[in-house]
Structure 1
Amino acid sequence: MKTYRIAVIGLGQRIAHVLAAMKEVGWSLEVAGQVDPAPVGAPILADAGIPMGRNFADPATLLAAGPYDLVMIGSPNHLHLEHLRAAFAAGCPIFAEKPIVRTEAETFALARQLADVKTPPLYIGLVMRSMPIVREVIARVDAGELGTLVSMDATEHLPPEHGGYLARNWRRRQEWGGSFMLDKVCHDFDIFGRMSRARAARVASFGGRAIFHAGRVDPPTVWSDGEAAYAMRDAGWMGANDAFHSDMDVTDHQVAIVEYDSGLRLSFHSNSHVSLQERRWYVSGTHGTLLADLVRNKLMIRPGLSRAKPERIDYANRTDDNHNGADQAMALDLLAALEGRAAFPVTPQDSLEAGLTVMAIDRAQETGQMVDCAPMWAEYDAAWAPKVAEPGLIA
């Protein structure tokens, strides 16, 4: 079996979990080197029995020590474009965590680079594409079991410890992570675009900070059993000590409505501090309805005029991180792609378009205006368009 020589740029908790999943499903791998001034993913690798490899001062020195079979990018979102460009130049296959980039300008710049320059294979960690329940949802929609998709209601509600972590972690700042919605639900909007096979046409959104802010009077900080709250995880790079008194500038709750080019209408509700956790998609079409519970890993579906009991599938395999085996499934998908046995389930284009959809939603929330997405898509498509040589120049 081939042993994959891997370089890691940004050894955070997420990329360490992906590496652990890769080993768990049978990869033979060696972390040959990594760059991170404070690698908070180190304990996760240690628990998985994966040596961290040599620590390099910067990505340039790390990549110069290649070649590698895979470069993995797990740095904060604002560094993704810089690190992607460096990895492109090194010519090695790349796995990058989502979101692929953080802003519209970065999206257009990356699209231009991907269109103009022959780049090595690029795989994006939109892990939900690998979840068995999500694959089944897409398959049922593609098979026409719901008919034409008409409307959809979706949620992403985080338990207090997860929301408190985001309020202390670098994701609390737009300059580092983008937005709450971008970092947390670009997964979902990738799937929504895939199901509808359409782009967002118009979006509106409302949100703010009503949970994690210094103005709250005596916020609760202890669980009912006396255990300290909001202390579950190391806050990592640029972490803040207090979820309520950090310099957070992203929303902690947000709602959005989206109309797709296909006619599908979507409502989305997110909240980062709930006592009844939920991630759910309720999809209604002209011929049937589907309910996917991504936390409990259960699917229910019934044709529109059926009086029989709904079909129910329980995928079990629930995990504390609610990925429910998706990390392991993605690790297998990544290995299959590198070995040329199967295409990776999500493309860089899919990731860029999901990100732009959420960025339009955030722009609507910030401005208080409905956003027409057509100009954004026109600029995006222009970035992908082949460049025509000027008259008199040899192409």
Structure 2
Amino acid sequence: MHRPSDARPVLHVQQSGDDIDMRFGIVGTGLMAQEHIRTLALVPGLQVAALADPVPDSIAWARHTLGAGSEDVPAFDSVEAMLGAGGLDAVIVCSPNHTHHDVLDSLLATDLHILCEKPLCTTVADARAVAERAEARARGVFWVAMEYRFMPPVRSFIDDLHDGRVGTLRRVALHEHRFPFLRKVGDWNRFNRNTGGTMVEKCCHFFDLMRHMVRAEPVRVFCSGAADVNHRDELYGGEVPDIIDNSYTIVEFDNGARAMLDLCMFADGAEEQERITAIGDAAMLEVGIPSGAKIFSPRVPLDAPKRIEREHVPVDARALAAGNHHGASYGQLLAFLDAANGRGPVQVTARDGLSAVAIGVAAERSAAEHRAVAIEEVL
């Protein structure tokens, strides 16, 4: 996630009833909800038709982002009240991590299409329960919002991997060097009990990318991480935040591939916030965000010149303006709409969300206990 600017564009355009193809409810109207609201405004035929959040200031923030006509959008203090009013086709869940299980408990009893922000839940048990219910539904798409898959440069990178451009993939290295966690409503994201821990809250994105890239299942996780720099001088009800702010994590997969995540959340000045390198037996491939630079380096004999190919992967300017995930929320939304309308598959399932949570929980345990953790220990 890229640091948001103070000024946010208001992109929403009200549409007449005859033009509406899908009506969305937004559950939790904090920071991430604003990105979804702006992204929905980019697609004709979509309407934010209801808001649900117990915090009035958050509702007011959402109305500001919606712009003209927002006073006509009903607001509720709970998801149950919103569902009782009816009139929705889909719901986007943006509430704090620790509320997902209870929010989804109500939503999964409906036929609504559901886009749930990551992480799916904060514990493996809750994530498994949600996944089982989601898979048992007769109707309604369930999609976990793993935006990083949908950054255009990253999608291009993954397409190359799956097309065999590097040969047999053996190694993946992901680096995120960024700013500290932003303030959230009620400071809920300062404590592991609410987030699941940094390795769940933040890094589920990267663990999902690992699985998606190597197309295999994790078997073992080793994480060395700590809370070393950020939030050490903050107090909330007398408590100091306990969230990891830097770590190295290695994940071993059942096909023999290995992946590594290098996370540092006190690297505010980094030129590239994300860098991904994949190495196979035939070549190496790299991509950077936000530069969009993709670099292909095939293996060559020691006495031969290097044959490096460079490419820039562009991103739609409207999608960039709408959010903080390098255009990913827009691409994700289009894929979600395709799935909801029967034009394509669910690309990030509840089972994918469960797997990402499991790797994150294993990483948190590994960091705390200073040992490698087998995935079967947490599943």
Q: Give the unaligned 5+ runs of structure 1.
A: 216-239, 380-395
**Is 1:281 aligned to 2:276, yes or no?**
yes
Q: Which residue of 1 aligns with 2:352?
A: 350
Q: Which residue of 2 aligns with 1:299?
A: 294
Distance of aligned partners of 1:26 and 1:158 in 2 relative to their CA distance in 1, 3 Å threshold: same
**What does residue range 100-115 of structure 1 map to in structure 2 within 5 Å?**
100-115=120-135
Distance in 1 of aligned mates of 2:31 and 2:153: 25
Instruction: Choose 36-45 or 137-146, whichever is displaced more.
Output: 36-45
Instruction: Choose 136-145 or 322-331, whichever is displaced more.
Output: 322-331
Matched letter for residue 264 of structure 1:
A
TM-score w.r.t. the length of structure 1 is 0.80
Q: Which residue of 2 aligns with 1:212?
A: 230
Q: Which residue of 1 aligns with 2:9?
A: none
After superposition, give the CA deviation of every residue in 1:230-282 in whole Å (9 maximum; x if it has no partner). Answer: xxxxxxxxxx7x79x86311111111112111111222211111143321111
**1:335 aligned to 329, 333, 337, which one?**
337
After superposition, give the CA deviation of every residue in 1:335-357 in whole Å (9 maximum; x if it has no partner). Answer: 22222222243222222212211
Contact 1:141/1:195 (8 A) holds in 2:
yes
CA RMSD, aligned part only? 2.6
Q: Give the unaligned 5+ runs of structure 2.
A: 1-18
Q: Which residue of 2 aligns with 1:10?
A: 28
Distance of aligned partners of 1:75 and 1:327 in 2 relative to their CA distance in 1, 3 Å threshold: same
SS at the partner of 2:339?
helix
TM-score w.r.t. the length of structure 2 is 0.83
SS at the partner of 2:109?
helix
Contact 2:142/2:346 (8 A) holds in 1:
no
SS at the partner of 2:202?
helix
How much identity, in percent, do the aligned residues show? 24
Q: Which residue of 1 aligns with 2:7?
A: none
Contact 2:131/2:350 (8 A) holds in 1:
no
Distance in 1 of aligned mates of 2:239 and 2:246: 17
Matched letter for residue 54 of structure 2:
D
Distance of aligned partners of 1:188 and 1:41 in 2 relative to their CA distance in 1, 3 Å threshold: farther
The offset of 1:184, in angstroms, is 1.5
Instruction: Choose 99-108 or 304-313, whichever is displaced more.
Output: 304-313
Distance of aligned partners of 1:317 and 1:60 in 2 relative to their CA distance in 1, 3 Å threshold: closer
**What does residue range 225-374 of structure 1 map to in structure 2 within 5 Å?**
247-277=240-270, 278-305=273-300, 307-315=306-314, 319=320, 322-374=324-376
Distance in 1 of aligned mates of 2:186 and 2:107: 29
Distance in 2 of aligned mates of 1:309 and 1:212: 38
Matched letter for residue 366 of structure 2:
A
Distance in 1 of aligned mates of 2:246 and 2:363: 13
Distance of aligned partners of 1:258 and 1:211 in 2 relative to their CA distance in 1, 3 Å threshold: same
Distance of aligned partners of 1:368 and 1:338 in 2 relative to their CA distance in 1, 3 Å threshold: same
Distance in 2 of aligned mates of 1:156 and 1:332: 26
The offset of 1:334, in angstroms, is 2.4
May I ask how many residue pairs the two structures share in their alignment? Answer: 349
Q: Which residue of 2 aligns with 1:222?
A: none
Q: Which residue of 1 aligns with 2:12?
A: none
Matched letter for residue 279 of structure 1:
E
Contact 2:23/2:46 (8 A) holds in 1:
no
The offset of 1:375, in angstroms, is 4.3
Distance in 2 of aligned mates of 1:38 and 1:364: 39
Contact 1:171/1:178 (8 A) holds in 2:
no
Contact 1:298/1:315 (8 A) holds in 2:
no
**What does residue range 104-253 of structure 1 map to in structure 2 within 5 Å?**
104-116=124-136, 118=138, 120-159=140-179, 162-163=180-181, 165=183, 169-214=187-232, 247-253=240-246
Contact 1:258/1:266 (8 A) holds in 2:
yes
Instruction: Choose 305-314 or 181-190, whichever is displaced more.
Output: 305-314
